[in-house]
Structure 1
Amino acid sequence: MLIYEKDSLGRSFLEIVFLNAGSIFAPDGVANFAKEIINRGTKEKKERFFNELEEDAININFNVNHEYFTVSLKCLNSKRKKAIDKLTELFSNLNLTEEAFEKTKKEIIAKKENLKNNNDYIANKNLYRAVFENTPLALPVIGEDIENITLYDVKNFISEKLTQNTILINGGAEFEYEKFLNILPKGKKEKYPFFHPKQKDIKETKKLQQSYIYFASDFNINKNELHLAKIATFILGSGGFGSRIMEEIRVKKGYAYSAYAFNTFKKTHKLLSGYMQTKLENTEDAINTLKNIINDFIDKGITKEELSDAKKFLLGSEPLRNETLAQRLLKKFNEIYLELPKDYYKKELDLIKNTSIDEVNNFIKKYQNIKNLSFSILTNE
């Protein structure tokens, strides 16, 4: 699937997405390890390879999440051919030596050690570990057991997952990328699994001066309800000041500096998620307050004033979400990846504009299960 958009600023952007190459399609931590070792450059030039790119203002980045692996390439239009040549050079002779492997392993272990100080990361990781217990989503992308990863695991991932037949190309200007594709193995597509979260709480303690609270519930909506979910969750918690959660938890009770809820709609899972931080002594009451807010939201629905305010913001801010090339390309990618109707995001504005209060409230009542919240609490010992 090819997606193009002309860039009038003299820049080119190419994003190569390898589907079926996220961390859930590989042994623990291997997909992330592959991403990191590719940054070791070629066998001959090693990291000097990337210094050569800088001389031509060519930027190549790699990223991986639970669901897919991404190669992002940015350059001037005049450097498109050279950029593809360099990408082809890299993948033709990756630095998959024992030396590069051991150096990469040490760096990943060091990164994991640093993450022990990132309390938001810990709380969110624990949430996924609880609600997606015994599934690949329970493991963080970086992995848990780095020591057991072998060079064979990494080589096998690269040869079996970074392949021609799993590619989706998202480009801001036309590249002649066939040269790069031709060096990749054919490969085969796999069907994406879908995971339903279970309701389960998890608690971890360490020396802290405040509590970090992350929460989620199952929100497996239909594709034709996306606009309704956007409106409902904006009013509930993604709209910042004025949203139910922020107004009650921060403004009225002063429990948290920030408190949000948002939709997490992926190919493998769909959640209503959120987070807040609060003083240690307010932890239990903040959680109970959140439960009451969501119960009231389900039972009573929204008001006409809330719907009007949500429409004004969502419709008024949409142009800001289409300002950059990257923003527009991300929407085009999501239309294909999430199998949405063609030009869905353009049509969504009319859907939001014409939505009635009864439609939103009937939608909210339909998904009673968002009351079944799971909590990940990181608090003081």
Structure 2
Amino acid sequence: MNVIGFLKVAVLALVLQSYAANVLAALNIQHWTTAEGSEVYFVENHSLPMMDVSINFRAGSAYDHPDTGGTAAVTHHLMALVAGGLEEEALTNRFADIGAVLGGSFDADRASFKLRTLTSEQQAALEAFTLVLHKPDFPPAVLAREQARIVAALQEAETEPDSIAQKAFMQSVYGMHPYSLDQNGEISTVQSLTAAQLRQFYQTYYTAKSAVIAMMGDLTTEQAKQIAARLSAGLPQGPALAAVPPVTAPASASVKKIPHPAVQAHILLGQPGNKRGDVDFFPLYVGNYILGGGGFVSRLTEEVREKRGLAYSVYSYFMPMSQLGPFQIGLQTKKEQADEALKLVKDTVQQFVDKGVTEKELAAAKDNLIGGFPLRIDSNSKILEYLNMIGFYQLPLDYLDSFNDQVAKVTVQQVNDAFKRRVHPESFATVIVGAE
């Protein structure tokens, strides 16, 4: 990075540090569709001389095939390395020299790329960004090098109890559904990937009609429309993609015990939970805070850690996705205590489902969730992530404005009813890594 690039990065860091955004009373989300069919979500904010842009695709690991697992992740990874005929160092310097930051994320549902730049450098930053999106290269030599690196990481993961447990848990919960696939692929499938397969995946899944563009920052609506049109026009022009297929919950409980030399047993249990836009989202969200999402004030922590000392930490969470994402409970405990701890967790969840929550617990949970909400939207980048979610999962445009109101409206009856209908401890999939 040259001196000018370094200074620009420093300026960007300073303005970010000095930025303390007020919670927006009414977040004005503008929405339109480009000529090529990309959905666009934009929030104009001139508080900082910068812009954040992201583009999301239905190109996560759930669009892989078991025989070619890892194609989605490797495609996403290589797109950010070599593009437009530029080698890695040259492409990296295109962003670094103007103080721009290229980022991205990847999960089962989606693959995304993000750009953060000072608005004074937006044209140069967008030129580099469009190379990544429109002209990715998949050189065989770079692919071979990255395959070796990814395989090494997969081999290491096969020795780590946390990774082993998470992989086995998703397989137990989802069976043959695409959500069961390891997001990084399998050693054998990653080793066999070709550059032609990556190019085909890009052409099929990174289409304009499947793209969701989110923008936040120092732009006018007209400028945002020009940027969105530019990003959309250069993408493959294939058809819109179908959503991930529905999830079928396991018909019965399962227990998978995996030997491991770790000192502690790593335990995961749960089931398919809920999806984005689910009618039960808020009752489950608030109720889970009481069950296991509220840290030291949760029921699981009180029973498992405070009263019995069987684990340092225990948690539960819902991970909504396009289809039913996992409801997961996790803890670590001494191997000789694994059966006792597991029984206590199941009993605690069953009691929670059977007897429900109290008004006092509900009031405390809502106070904490509502009180902490401003910290979740106190920067452009955080709001951008919500724009991504709202756009990709087609949530209401007032989702953020009404979030606290929705939390406040949740009643004891709604929580209790939702957990009775949706959470079934008798059908949980259970994984114990390090079982005796």
CA contact (8 A) 2:304 2:314 kept: yes
Asked if residue 172 in structure 1 is aligned to residue 172 in structure 2, the reply is no
Q: Tell me if 1:46 matches 2:87.
A: yes
Contact 1:132 1:195 in 2 (8 A): yes
> In structure 1, how many angstroms separate the alpha carbons of the residues matched to 2:126 and 2:345?
51
Looking at structure 2, the residues matched to 194 and 309 of structure 1 have their Cα atoms a distance apart, in angstroms, of 35
What is aligned with 2:19?
Answer: none
Question: How far has the Cα of 1:94 moved from its partner?
Answer: 3.0
Can you list the C-alpha shifts for 1:129-179, whole angstroms capped at 9, x where unaligned? Answer: 111112222111100121222222111001111111111001113452433
Give 1:329 shift: 2.4
Whole-Å separation in 2 of the counterparts to 1:143 and 1:368: 30
Matched, 1:242 2:297: yes
Residues 116, 154 of structure 1: alpha-carbon distance in 2 compared, 3 angstrom cutoff: same
TM-score by length of 1: 0.93
Give me the whole-angstrom Cα distance separating, in 1, the residues matched to 2:234 and 2:418: 49
| Deviations 1:270-311 (CA, angstroms, capped at 9, x unpaired) | 332121111111111111001100111111111121112112
Deviation at 1:23, TM superposition (A): 1.5
Cα drift, residue 92 of structure 1: 4.9
Question: Which is further off, 93-102 or 124-133?
Answer: 93-102
Q: Which moves more between the two structures, 255-264 or 95-104?
A: 95-104
User: Structure 1's 92 and 305: CA in aligned 2 closer, same or farther, altered over 3 A?
Assistant: closer
For residues 336-379 of structure 1, the C-alpha deviation after alignment (integer angstroms, 9 at most, x for no partner) is: 33333331233232232233323322333333525421112111
| Aligned twin of 2:242 | 191
Q: Does 1:156 align with 2:200?
A: yes
Q: Which runs of 5+ in 2 are unaligned?
A: 1-38
Partner SS for 2:269 = strand
Q: Once the 2 structures are TM-superposed, how far is the Cα of residue 101 of structure 1 from its aligned partner?
A: 1.8
CA contact (8 A) 2:102 2:116 kept: yes
Is 1:31 the counterpart of 2:78 in the alignment?
no
Q: What residue number does 1:111 align with? A: 153
> 1 CA distance for matches of 2:430 and 2:40?
40
Deviations 1:55-78 (CA, angstroms, capped at 9, x unpaired): 111111233211111011111111
Code of the residue aligned with 2:257 in structure 1: it is K
SS at match of 1:206: coil
Moved more, 306-315 or 236-245: 306-315
Match of 2:325 among 270, 290, 294: 270
What CA distance in whole angstroms lies between the structure 2 residues aligned with 1:302 and 1:90? 50
Letter in 1 for 2:42: Y
Q: Matches of 1:302 and 1:264 in 2, distance apart?
A: 21
In structure 2, the partner of 1:206 is 260
CA deviations over 1:194-242 (Å, ceiling 9, x no partner): 2133243322222110011111123347723221111111111101111
Name the residue aligned to 1:260. Answer: 315
- In 2, the alpha carbon distance for the partners of 1:344 and 1:44 equals 41
Q: CA deviation at 1:258?
A: 0.8
Which amino acid in 2 is paired with 1:71?
F
Alpha-carbon distance between aligned partners in 2 of 1:225 and 1:56, rounded to the nearest angstrom = 45
Please give the secondary structure, in 2, of the residue aligned with 1:229. Answer: helix
Alignment partner of 1:134 is 2:176: yes
SS in 1 for 2:280: helix
CA distance in 2, matches of 1:185, 1:356: 47
Q: Quick check: 2:56–2:392 contact (8 Å CA) kept in 1?
A: no
Provide the C-alpha distance between the structure 2 equivalents of 1:129 and 1:46, rounded to a whole number of angstroms. Answer: 38
Query: Which one of the candidate residues 60, 71, 79 is aligned to 1:22?
Result: 60
| Identity across matched positions, percent | 23
CA contact (8 A) 2:359 2:412 kept: yes
Instruction: Evaluate the alpha carbon distance shift between residue 197 and residue 118 of structure 1 in structure 2; reply closer, same or farther with a 3 A threshold.
Output: farther
Is the contact between residue 43 and residue 97 of structure 1 (CA under 8 Å) also seen in structure 2? no
Aligned length: 380
Distance 2:240 2:205 in 1: 9
Normalised by the size of structure 2, how large is the TM-score? 0.82
Instruction: Determine if contact 2:254/2:427 at 8 Å carries over to the other structure.
Output: no
1:182 aligns with 2:236: no
RMSD: 2.0
Alignment check: 8 A CA contact 2:82 2:137 kept: yes
**Which shifted more, 178-187 or 313-322?**
178-187
2:93 corresponds to which letter in structure 1? N
Matched, 1:217 2:271: yes
